[in-house]
A = this chain, B = another copy of it.
Amino acid sequence: MKFSFKNDYSEGGHPNILQALLQHNLDQQAGYGEDEYSLKAKEAIKRKMNKEDAEIFFVSGGTQANLIVISSILKPYQCVISAATGHILNNETGAIEATGHKVLGIETPDGKLRPADIIPVLENHQNVPHQVMPKLVYISNSTELGTVYHKKELKELSDFCKERNLFLFMDGARLGHGLTSEASDLTLENIAELTDVFYLGGTKNGALIGEAIVLNNPELQEYFAFNIKQKGALLAKGRLLGIQFLELMKNDLYFDLARHANQQAMKIKKALQQRGVSFLSDTFTNQIFPIVSQHLIEVLSEGFEFYVWKKIDDQFSAIRLITSWNTPDEAVDRFIEIIEKEL
């Protein structure tokens, strides 16, 4: 059986989560997110964020979180600004447009957005009322390219959005990885301060399913539950989400799992760097994009699964390796061993 580095959702959930589901399985609870676990999990997240007035809702997945958040905020004529690499632009089957809203993509070298990227878009959308009105800035942390925002960058972007009357929404499908990256100086508290809304991704960080949408801006909180229900995202057994996030928040399990994933990727990165391998982009989270020879790809493929991401030339391609909360040392060591032998 080959070990897979294809993504961070190949396995089930962290054992603590499974144990908690088992332990609380037969007690009777209120439905639709009113169960005691969901309520406690929300409190735990708020404490961790040090923001008591946030509102939190649990949903099943990232595309669902993205479409509910965006469609709940925008008026019909308003649109989203995203990096061209944004998940909502390329990997969600037009889910945002299906709710009626355009997404404007901006080319950036590292998948991050800065005020200087956004200003020209605002300037080119002044032909009132013949053009959509940009109103929400969508970013991801870590980004789809595995890069992370620094505190200064996020602060500047947040200030800019406030100044221009734009909402700032952070897709946190891999927020744990973003915050525990060695390259990051951000905390969850910072995220809560600097965004209007974000979510804490569970699916890619040890949960079976689940993303926790956090509404920091009070203006966005009222009636949000209606949107959750209308889009088919309100689970009858909301306990399934509550129990998981409660476990993930205990003793910072959420952050430990992400840190583990990052470290496993960084070990491989270091081994490759020591042998002079270059990378498609310089990442510090659980995704790396080394550029390797066709021969090495073949050798590695005997024991591992991974995506060939981008052809560079006739001989070389970038591959994508993703590690997870559950990637064992053994798999990493074995992978490095092959590299050391081959390079």
Contacts and interface: CB of A to CB of B under 8 A. Distances in A.
Interface in A8-48: 9-13, 15, 18, 21-22, 24-32
A204 B12 contact: no
Contacts of A79: 94, 97
Contacts of A31: 7, 9-10
A274 to B, nearest CB: 28
Interface in A79-135: 79, 90-95, 97-103, 127-133
A230 interface: yes
A97 B100 contact: yes
B236 A61 contact: yes
Nearest to A25: B12
Contact of A223 (B66, B75, B103, B223): B75
A107 to B, nearest CB: 11
Contacts of A235: 60-61, 203, 209
A230 B92 CA distance: 6
Given A61-B235, A235-B60, A76 B208 contact: no
B95 A204 contact: no
B18 A130 contact: no
The count of identical subunits is 4
A98 to B, nearest CB: 5
B95 A230 contact: yes
A103 B75 CA distance: 19
B132 A93 contact: yes
A63 B232 contact: yes
B98 A230 contact: yes
Q: Is the interface of A mostly helix, strand, loop or mixed?
A: loop
A153 to B, nearest CB: 28
B230 A94 contact: yes
Given A237-B203, A240-B208, A232 B130 contact: no
Given A15-B25, A77-B230, A209 B240 contact: yes
Nearest to A105: B105
Contact of A28 (B4, B29, B208): B4
Given A21-B21, A93-B226, A227-B77, A234 B63 contact: yes
A83 B67 CA distance: 27
Given A65-B232, A203-B237, A209-B237, 5 more contacts: A32-B130, A59-B232, A60-B235, A61-B234, A63-B234
Interface of A: 3-4, 7, 9-13, 15, 18, 21-22, 24-32, 59-68, 71-72, 75-77, 79, 90-95, 97-103, 127-133, 203-204, 208-209, 223, 225-237, 239-240, 326
9 contacts: A11-B26, A12-B25, A12-B240, A67-B232, A93-B226, A93-B229, A208-B240, A209-B237, A209-B240
Leading 10 A-B pairs by shortest Cβ distance: A64-B232, A77-B226, A12-B25, A129-B225, A10-B28, A94-B132, A93-B230, A9-B236, A97-B102, A129-B226
